[in-house]
Amino acid sequence: MKKVLLEMPIPEEGVRLLQQEVEVIGPITDHARVIEIMRDGVHGLIVSSSLPVTEALMRSAPTLEAVGRPGVGVDNIDLAGATAQGVIAVYTPDAPTESTAEHAVALIMALAKDVRSGDAAIRRAGWAGRRGLVGVELMGKTLGIVGLGRIGGRVAEICGRGLHMKVIAYDPYILPERAAALDVTLRPTLESVLREADVVTLHTPLNDETRGMIGAAQLAMMRPSAFLINTSRGPVVDEEALLAALRARRIRGAGIDVYAQEPIPFPHPLLELDNVVVTPHIASGTADGLLKMGVTVAEEMLAALRGDKPRFMANPEVWERPRRVARR
């Protein structure tokens, strides 16, 4: 019987699905122990974002056939290295869509309605704390989406059709037909979105093109009254530049769920600012989202280990190359 090692817990429904066909080991969160076990007969590995799955690691695991990532981000997996080693990388791009999109909208609403300041004020001073708290009405305001994929598209639907915001987007890989179906106006450049939007929300993968794409120059393009939302990946934003912009009130505020370093060091300068709403990388972490991710990654892992073609491969080119397991 083949073996699948869990580096992270997944919902029991996903575990039971795996156990129908493979032996499940873990969850084991000690990375040194994970690497040690992988050298000895592990065929599948399901990982969180915290374990770097390098080509060297995969090479050290001679029986490894597939790596699974519950979620849409696979930046911690060396995809070129996986393909070179004949290892299939599966993920769950559809599963976290709703939860992450709703979380992004929750951050937008929390900032616009001054929820953090209002909560702190009433706890500190009672009803008198409401003086000076003035929120923003979102109807008619412009939402700028960077990355109009599954999550960005769902945010567009909620904010455009639900809150009646004007929605614009920058995404050089999206067809105009998709944008039109979402009632979104595409802009030709990132700069045009940053300059026009009252709220900018980031929904891009982390890669060489997007790493640091929001830096000091880009933040300077934003309106002083604008909010920045990041539920994508921390390194998409230059955190030091964001801190400087928030401290100087060059933008009104930010809603942040992801960070340059995770777990975020504590204490951290971002946590000291009153114009930031922060959450600990939990955008996709609803009961519903976790269940979808756990079941989907189990299904995709089992397909790969059977020799069937998975629906969601992060490195689809591996299917046309020699792999560590032959097709059935």
CATH number for 3-95+287-320 (one of 3.20.20.70, 3.90.79.10, 3.40.50.720, 3.20.20.140): it is: 3.40.50.720
What number of CA atoms fall less than 13 Å from residue 212's CA on the CB side?
Answer: 5
pLDDT in tens, 102-152: 999 999 999 999 999 888 888 888 888 788 888 899 999 999 999 999 999
The Cα-based distances of 63 to 60, 103, 195 in angstroms read 9, 39, 51
Dihedral sign for Cα atoms in the order 260, 92, 284, 143: positive
Domain chopping of the chain, boundaries:
3-95+287-320, 97-278
Res 190 pLDDT > 90: yes
281 is a catalytic site residue: yes
Q: Which of 262, 272, 317, 321 does the annotation list as catalytic?
A: 262
| pLDDT score for 282 | 94
| pLDDT score for 232 | 96
233 is a catalytic site residue: yes
Name residue 44's amino acid.
Answer: G
Does the fold of domain 97-278 match that of domain 3-95+287-320? yes
pLDDT in tens, 26-46: 999 999 999 999 998 899 999
pTM of the model: 0.87
Provide φ and ψ at 178, rounded to 5°: -65, -45
| pLDDT score for 325 | 66
> In this structure, are residues 106 and 295 in contact, taking their beta carbons and an 8 Å threshold?
no
State which fold the 97-278 domain adopts: Rossmann fold (3.40.50)
Residues in CB range of 310: below 8 A, 6 or more apart = 88, 90, 300, 303, 304
Q: Which of 233, 239, 252, 300 does the annotation list as catalytic?
A: 233
